[in-house]
A and B are shown apart, each in its own frame.
Chain A
Amino acid sequence: MKLDRRFLLRGTCQGALAVMGLPFLDCFLDGNGKALADGRPLPTRFNTFFYGLGLTKKLWIPKTGGKDYEMTTQLKPLEPFRAKINVFSELRVMLDDNPNYQHWSGAGAAATGISPSKQGEFDTKTIDQQIADVISHGTRFKSVSAAAAGDPKESYSSLGGANALPAEPSPLALYTRLFGPGFQDPTKGDWKPDPQVMIQQSVLSAVAENRKHAMQNLGAPDRARMDQYFTSVREAELEMAAELQRPEIIAKVTIPDAPPEMTCNNALPNVRKVTPIMAKLGAIALATDQTRVFNLSISEPQSQLFIPGDSLGYHQSTHEEPIDPVLGYQPRVSQYNLYTMELYATFLKELDAIPEGDGTILDHSIVFSFTDQSYAKIHAVDGLPIIIAGGANGRLKTGYHIAGDGSPISRVGLTMQKAMGVSLESWGRASMETKTPYTELLV
């Protein structure tokens, strides 16, 4: 069944974006709306959401486990997505012989299953890159990262060592990368491969040819770096190959106009304006298969978020605000915690807002939210809050509170990768090496 792509959505109604809901979309799917018409499964996406400084145990951990847990104060912003999330409490982070790097060890353990041996560095590729290695074939970008606080260094997606993948530091930068030059609009009817791209492929080929010479006389660490350079060249080649293919789009989505320049810094009002735009752009990128891995951070681990008028700011508050003797927690800190959960909800909202087949982009994703501390005041890491979202195209059960049982945090990473279709028997290292995923969550 061939339908003219002009029927695909591109509508504005007096300047406002209008999405034309067309039943025809289903004819690109098989009868159940669960796969592409040619039998290929719908892609599953993997996303991460990083926020610094954790949450307040007293206010976020539900007392009961299982499906009927009570919605706690700090989980409340996520309530609209209750059926689509899984909450993990009392997960353990085993440091073994490594120090507890403040504002780092927890994040490193969550993202790699390994207690980091160096401050600010991951011992291996982070989980999103490990998954991207498996699922990103044919997409334009292997992964895309964005930082709502405006600093390209606030990226917790890494190739290992000090090599974090830079994050787009503003909505406009993110838009330009995704939908600026080089973007083949799959919603346009008259799609044609760009001959320029083919020429650029020859250029990249020529660059790659010099690999042997470039690697000469290098010591092992420099060889690894040079190797990474050539891997990056290769990824650019793959990106161009993807640009030469006619894109397949199932989701109901419209490419928006470019966002304006915005101030992106640690002031909370600005982060609140920037996050939904970045989330939306990321969601559309997933829907149009520009990438299958999208990473969003709203702060650095030692979150410098502040509310104008509060001279302490978030991080300082975690250390300087006294514990209220009646409440039993730090009130201002807990308010900041809540704000970060609201931002997470914003991200989920944008993913859930794009219908695709029988579900939404969120249903066809996993979103892995992680942080650096379980109790920022004392830099504790045990009990690091982990809240994941999305059903991974039906491969992950959702709606549960998995109450702690001393499991290492790496069990979540293993479980998610299995749901993503990555074949691996174990994940993590040393005391956090695990072979047992949460089978109760795997379909």
Chain B
Amino acid sequence: MSAEKKKTNDLGLAASAQPRKKYVKLAISQCFSAKLNDVSVPVVAGSWMRNVAGLILSVAAVSAVLAVGTLAARAATTEVVSLRRLTQAEYRNSIADIFGPDIEIRGTFEPTIRMGGLQATSTGVLSITPAGFESYTKMADSIATQVTSEKYRSKLPCAPQSASAPDDACMAQVLNHYGMLLFRRPLTPDELKNGVMLGRTLAKSSNDFYAGLRYSLATLIQAPDFLFRKEEAVTVGKNQYALESYSRATRLSYLLWSTTPDNELLSAAQNGELNTAAGLDKQVTRLMASPRLEAGMRSFFNDMFELDTFDNVSKDSLFYPKWSAIIAASAKEETLRTTLDLALHSDGDMRDLMTTRKTFLNRSLAALYQIPFPFKGDWVPYEFSPDSGRSGIVTQASVVAMFSHPGRSSPTERGVALMDILLCEPTPSPPANVDFSIVNDTSGPLKTVRERLTAHATNPTCASCHNHSDPIGLTLEGFDTIGGRRTTENGKTIDLSSTLQGKHVVGAEGLSHYLHDNPKYTMCIARKLYAYADGLNSEDVEPSAVKTAYKAFSDAGFRLRALIKGMVEAPDFFNAAPPAPETPNAATKVAAK
């Protein structure tokens, strides 16, 4: 058998692309057996070159003609540095981009948990439970059914010779096409072989090519290679590791667009372009110029500002009949729009997010903020007046409502939340035997929460933490637990003054200027973006890790685009630590008993 190399257009591959190093090796037997050790090939980042059209069928199995770095060889010098479960948004976006936005996805997704301030971090820690997998397997079948339904068939890369019989060539072509997009790398010979075999068996038993294709495709959609994004690092020098190309494409794509790499990015990976500064810059520029950057940043800010907290916030309907799920959703959207408008559309200074009075409103929010709303349609830009008391996102309904009790505000909760979210300063847990007995209920003589919290400030054990969080929250006491304005509490005028790190501030405006000027805020954005991109715990991200990125951010007047670009194009962004030496019986918390 000779090595045939025909070009295929379905992946948009450049016709003359050559990997830096290659072996051309073919053997029908190679593909049948798992004897990948036979071929020793130097590890080449991104040197997969698949030729779909060169498949040669045989009775027993499918063979493929390929230029390949084998798995066995990679095993010696490859390490998986991170394995991240797709979030619900990433899963949906990826399926929509691969199969089309009209594919319905109905199912429940296992929750992620917030670690170090980000849900994204837990994607690198959590596994898939049986209940979670149940849902994935059902969704995979549902998606595959739609993709092989009659009205979709014209979109497939090929048609079988007969719709009521197996057709290995077409089956392989379809699986290769979608496999590459789903797995974010070419399928291995074994994966392809197994897929074609399953497809043929089921096509045969049901006399329906598309039934076979459906189940084979479903196998790919519930495979761990789709559900988890693997970041693989390979050696690039003495004891130096860096992500291989496809992993770079994956990391970039999910960070910037919250979806799977598109054809052009996959080609760039395949051609090794992402391993060069120029090639990387070209793709990063393209991805950032696209309106799809908004989806990526929306996902990031939704996480950083903990807006998912709203999914489980209950407000007391007796005290706050205005509050509803609709207002919660609107409040969330308001904050995201304000942020994205400043960060991406106006290309503004991110510090202004703390002080801006510009926002976007819909009817429900206007009612909450007690603003007349003579507009048609929703999400109208609006600027609060200087005397409104609103100043930056910390005074938006989202922030003040999420970190509050069902029936009353909480300066401590708000202070703790803002320090954690905006300054990357989480507060330790209170001591176990904390005694609140001197804090009476609201019908006692201490009318305002400020008075009741004085105990925090005077007791030395409490003061160490509360002197950081409470003053922040106390400046926001002009807002009740659902974000409405108020000037009195239980009949007494609220005092909004506070001392933050020795500076006297009054009210929300004072707070917002304090945050605006605090270098920890902009550093926190950098640390969290980095943690989000890499699936790390932000508490483990030292400022030195984001030095290059932060300098670019700062030099550009704290424009978000400069931070993103500076971060992903930093020379060490794709670096990885060498693999840890394996100890026997390595303990893992996640291991089943």
Asked whether B314 lies within 8 Å of A209 as measured between CB atoms, the reply is no
Asked whether B128 lies within 8 Å of A102 as measured between CB atoms, the reply is no
Task: Tally the A-B contacts, defined by beta carbons under 8 Å.
Answer: 232
Complex A-B, nearest 10 residue pairs according to Cβ-Cβ distance, in ascending order: A311-B407, A232-B133, A228-B127, A220-B586, A161-B589, A379-B432, A161-B590, A225-B127, A235-B130, A265-B314
Instruction: Determine if B83 is an interface residue (Cβ-Cβ < 8 Å).
Output: yes
Sample of 25 A–B contacts (CB below 8 Å): A119-B429, A123-B589, A153-B111, A163-B129, A181-B138, A200-B137, A210-B191, A213-B191, A216-B71, A219-B579, A222-B80, A226-B127, A228-B590, A229-B128, A229-B227, A232-B128, A232-B129, A235-B130, A308-B319, A309-B318, A310-B316, A316-B405, A377-B436, A378-B432, A378-B434
A224 to B202, CA, bound (A): 32
A268 to B145, CA, bound (A): 42
Residues from chain B with Cβ under 8 Å of A228 in the complex: 127-129, 590, 592
B-binding segment of A70-78, A244-252, A318-326, A407-415: A318-326
Residues from chain B with Cβ under 8 Å of A152 in the complex: 108, 110-111
A210 to B103, CA, bound (A): 26
Instruction: Determine if A431 is an interface residue (Cβ-Cβ < 8 Å).
Output: no
Asked whether A125 lies within 8 Å of B592 as measured between CB atoms, the reply is yes
A210: contacting residue among B113, B125, B223, CB under 8 A = B223
Instruction: Looking at the assembled complex, report how far the CB atom of B210 sits from the nearest CB atom of chain A, in whole angstroms.
Output: 14
Q: B212-245 CB contact bits vs A (8 Å, 1 = yes)?
A: 0001101100111101100010000000000000
Asked whether A218 lies within 8 Å of B83 as measured between CB atoms, the reply is yes
Asked whether A226 lies within 8 Å of B224 as measured between CB atoms, the reply is yes
Interface secondary structure of B, over-half rule: loop
Residues from chain A with Cβ under 8 Å of B198 in the complex: 202-203, 206
Q: A296-317 CB contact bits vs B (8 Å, 1 = yes)?
A: 0000000010101111110010
Instruction: Looking at the assembled complex, report how far the CB atom of A157 sits from the nearest CB atom of chain B, in whole angstroms.
Output: 10
Within 8 A of B (CB), among A205-243: 206-207, 209-210, 213-214, 216-222, 224-229, 231-233, 235-236, 239
Asked whether A217 lies within 8 Å of B439 as measured between CB atoms, the reply is no
Residues from chain B with Cβ under 8 Å of A203 in the complex: 137, 141, 198, 215, 218-219, 222
Residues from chain A with Cβ under 8 Å of B439 in the complex: 320
Asked whether B407 lies within 8 Å of A306 as measured between CB atoms, the reply is yes
Instruction: Determine if A159 is an interface residue (Cβ-Cβ < 8 Å).
Output: yes
Residues from chain B with Cβ under 8 Å of A312 in the complex: 405, 407-408, 441
Within 8 A of B (CB), among A134-179: 141-142, 145, 150-153, 159-166, 173, 177
Instruction: Determine if B74 is an interface residue (Cβ-Cβ < 8 Å).
Output: yes
Residues from chain B with Cβ under 8 Å of A166 in the complex: 108, 110-111, 129, 131-132
Asked whether B579 lies within 8 Å of A130 as measured between CB atoms, the reply is no
Instruction: Determine if A44 is an interface residue (Cβ-Cβ < 8 Å).
Output: no
Instruction: Determine if B75 is an interface residue (Cβ-Cβ < 8 Å).
Output: yes
B interface residues, Cβ below 8 angstroms from A: 71, 74-75, 78-80, 82-83, 108, 110-111, 113, 115, 122, 125-134, 137-138, 141, 188, 190-191, 194-195, 198, 201-202, 215-216, 218-219, 222-225, 227-228, 232, 311-312, 314, 316-319, 405-408, 429-430, 432-437, 439-442, 579-580, 582, 586, 588-593
Instruction: Determine if A100 is an interface residue (Cβ-Cβ < 8 Å).
Output: yes
Asked whether A102 lies within 8 Å of B110 as measured between CB atoms, the reply is no
Interface centre among A100, A217, A378 (most CB of B within 10 A): A217
Residues from chain B with Cβ under 8 Å of A304 in the complex: 314, 406
A217: contacting residue among B80, B110, B129, CB under 8 A = B80
Instruction: Looking at the assembled complex, report how far the CB atom of A120 sits from the nearest CB atom of chain B, in whole angstroms.
Output: 8
Residues from chain B with Cβ under 8 Å of A426 in the complex: none
A311 to B480, CA, bound (A): 12
Instruction: Looking at the assembled complex, report how far the CB atom of B454 sits from the nearest CB atom of chain A, in whole angstroms.
Output: 14
Beyond A203-B218, A206-B195, A228-B128: 12 further Cβ-contacts under 8 Å? A151-B312, A162-B589, A165-B131, A200-B137, A203-B222, A217-B74, A220-B586, A226-B127, A319-B436, A378-B433, A378-B434, A379-B433
Instruction: Determine if A20 is an interface residue (Cβ-Cβ < 8 Å).
Output: no
Instruction: Looking at the assembled complex, report how far the CB atom of A62 sits from the nearest CB atom of chain B, in whole angstroms.
Output: 27
Residues from chain A with Cβ under 8 Å of B316 in the complex: 267, 306, 308-311
B582: contacting residue among A202, A220, A319, CB under 8 A = A220
Instruction: Determine if A18 is an interface residue (Cβ-Cβ < 8 Å).
Output: no
Determine the residue in chain A with the shortest Cβ distance to B85: A225
Residues from chain A with Cβ under 8 Å of B108 in the complex: 152, 166, 173
Residues from chain B with Cβ under 8 Å of A214 in the complex: 223-225
Asked whether A267 lies within 8 Å of B590 as measured between CB atoms, the reply is no
A interface residues, Cβ below 8 angstroms from B: 100-102, 118-121, 123-125, 130, 141-142, 145, 150-153, 159-166, 173, 177, 181, 199-200, 202-204, 206-207, 209-210, 213-214, 216-222, 224-229, 231-233, 235-236, 239, 265-267, 304, 306, 308-313, 316, 319-323, 377-380
Given the known interface contacts A102-B429, A214-B225, the answer about A220 and B588 at a Cβ–Cβ threshold of 8 Å is: yes
Residues from chain A with Cβ under 8 Å of B131 in the complex: 145, 165-166, 177
A225: contacting residue among B83, B190, B195, B440, CB under 8 A = B83
Asked whether B319 lies within 8 Å of A204 as measured between CB atoms, the reply is no
Asked whether A311 lies within 8 Å of B405 as measured between CB atoms, the reply is yes
Asked whether B83 lies within 8 Å of A159 as measured between CB atoms, the reply is no
Residues from chain A with Cβ under 8 Å of B223 in the complex: 207, 210, 214
A200 to B134, CA, bound (A): 12
A102 to B591, CA, bound (A): 24
Asked whether A102 lies within 8 Å of B134 as measured between CB atoms, the reply is no
A235 to B128, CA, bound (A): 12
Determine the residue in chain A with the shortest Cβ distance to B81: A219
B232: contacting residue among A181, A209, A217, A311, CB under 8 A = A217
Given the known interface contacts A163-B590, A224-B591, the answer about A321 and B232 at a Cβ–Cβ threshold of 8 Å is: no
Given the known interface contacts A219-B79, A224-B588, the answer about A313 and B436 at a Cβ–Cβ threshold of 8 Å is: no
Asked whether B589 lies within 8 Å of A118 as measured between CB atoms, the reply is yes
Determine the residue in chain A with the shortest Cβ distance to B582: A220
B317: contacting residue among A141, A142, A267, CB under 8 A = A267
Asked whether A311 lies within 8 Å of B582 as measured between CB atoms, the reply is no
Given the known interface contacts A218-B83, A322-B437, the answer about A231 and B592 at a Cβ–Cβ threshold of 8 Å is: yes
Asked whether B312 lies within 8 Å of A150 as measured between CB atoms, the reply is yes
Asked whether B432 lies within 8 Å of A236 as measured between CB atoms, the reply is no
Given the known interface contacts A216-B75, A229-B133, A319-B436, the answer about A202 and B127 at a Cβ–Cβ threshold of 8 Å is: no
Residues from chain A with Cβ under 8 Å of B224 in the complex: 210, 214, 226, 229
Determine the residue in chain B with the shortest Cβ distance to A308: B318
Residues from chain B with Cβ under 8 Å of A210 in the complex: 190-191, 194, 223-225
Residues from chain A with Cβ under 8 Å of B71 in the complex: 213, 216
Residues from chain A with Cβ under 8 Å of B227 in the complex: 229
Asked whether B134 lies within 8 Å of A160 as measured between CB atoms, the reply is no
A247 to B436, CA, bound (A): 55
Residues from chain A with Cβ under 8 Å of B79 in the complex: 217, 219
B137: contacting residue among A119, A125, A209, A236, CB under 8 A = A236
Asked whether A213 lies within 8 Å of B137 as measured between CB atoms, the reply is no
Asked whether A204 lies within 8 Å of B137 as measured between CB atoms, the reply is yes
A228 to B515, CA, bound (A): 43
Instruction: Looking at the assembled complex, report how far the CB atom of B340 sits from the nearest CB atom of chain A, in whole angstroms.
Output: 27
Given the known interface contacts A142-B130, A229-B224, A232-B132, the answer about A100 and B432 at a Cβ–Cβ threshold of 8 Å is: yes
Given the known interface contacts A150-B312, A228-B590, A320-B441, the answer about A162 and B126 at a Cβ–Cβ threshold of 8 Å is: yes
